[in-house]
Amino acid sequence: MRLLESVAEHEHGAPAKQLARETGLALPTAYHLLRTLVHEGYLRRDKGLFFLGEAAERLSSSGAEQKRRSTVVDALAHWRDLIGVPVYYAQYRDGEIEVLCVSDSPANPAVEEWADFRETGHAHAIGQCLLAQLDDEGRRDHLDRYPVRSITPYTVRDDHSLLRRLERTARMGPVMERQEYALGTMCAAIPITVGNAASTMAISLPAHQADRLVAATQQLQEEIGRLMGSLAISISI
């Protein structure tokens, strides 16, 4: 590990003698370990200099991805405790609605996915928020594959009604739905656009706490604004 760290510090490569000296290893030991690391793909040797290999780069990439995901998970947990609601993070990727992270607690449980979130995007705030960020062609493509269907008495009735609602949605304004996906539950979703990715952070509340929905949504918006700099890179998990 010390050899790998030492090699990583030399962008233009380093010879075995230098690496042995920097890591405090005897030269024969350093040579043996370097050969092993090259054989396993963690290092590569070119004209007597050692560089990080593909295996080390994959390891580094996985570690960076875990760190980015950890940033999002920690943020959601913080907002969950601060606001006292379940918090969700979702993206629209490759034509699908994907809920990537949920942070809830026994006192504030997440909404049960009783109908596939991907197929019922028209009915919940997460899906409506993501669809509102797409262009007209993207929305119609999604609805061709997942047509509107009523799953509660409050669900939007048809594609035309949904498209009109999405068109009226403020570009970066929150989306709220009341018992459209699950009876007794209300949700709000806040759009987040980084690059070309349509993303959203969302919350849910039981219907008897309806008076909290607007204030809780505004609080989440403010918190996202404070952390947006660090989240901008991390939300590509």
Q: Is this prediction's pTM over 0.85?
A: no
Burial class (CB in 10 A: 0-12, 13-18, 19+), 72: buried
> pLDDT digits over 165-205, tens only?
999 887 778 999 999 999 999 999 999 876 678 999 999 99
Burial class (CB in 10 A: 0-12, 13-18, 19+), 136: exposed
> pLDDT digits over 134-152, tens only?
999 999 999 999 999 999 9
Q: For residue 11, what pLDDT band results from cuts at 50, 70 and 90?
A: confident
Looking at the predicted structure, is the pLDDT value of residue 124 above 60?
yes
Distance CA 205, CA 81 (A): 14
Element (H, E) at 28: helix 27-39
What residue type is 29 in one-letter code? T
Of 74-83, 95-104, 221-230, the least confident: 221-230
> pLDDT digits over 75-95, tens only?
999 999 999 999 999 999 999
Q: What is the pLDDT of residue 171?
A: 73
Distance CA 107, CA 211 (A): 18
Structure tokens at 82: 């601060």
Looking at the predicted structure, is the pLDDT value of residue 60 above 70?
no
Q: What is the pLDDT of residue 51?
A: 92
For residue 78, give the 3-state DSSP assignment. helix
Structure tokens at 105: 């607690």
Distance CA 151, CA 113 (A): 12
Q: For residue 67, what pLDDT band results from cuts at 50, 70 and 90?
A: low
Looking at the predicted structure, is the pLDDT value of residue 215 above 90?
yes
Q: For residue 233, what pLDDT band results from cuts at 50, 70 and 90?
A: very low
- The strand pairing partners of 99, in sequence order, are 90
Can you say whether the dihedral through the CA atoms of 178, 182, 183, 184 is positive or negative? negative
Q: Tell me how many degrees the CA angle 70-118-168 measures, rounded to the nearest 5.
A: 95
Distance CA 113, CA 103 (A): 14
Contact assessment for residue 165 and residue 156, using Cβ atoms and an 8 Å cutoff: yes
What mean pLDDT do residues 42-63 have?
81
Structure tokens at 42: 């963690």
Can you say whether the dihedral through the CA atoms of 185, 88, 176, 115 is positive or negative? negative
- The strand pairing partners of 83, in sequence order, are none
Who wins on pLDDT, 170 or 53? 53
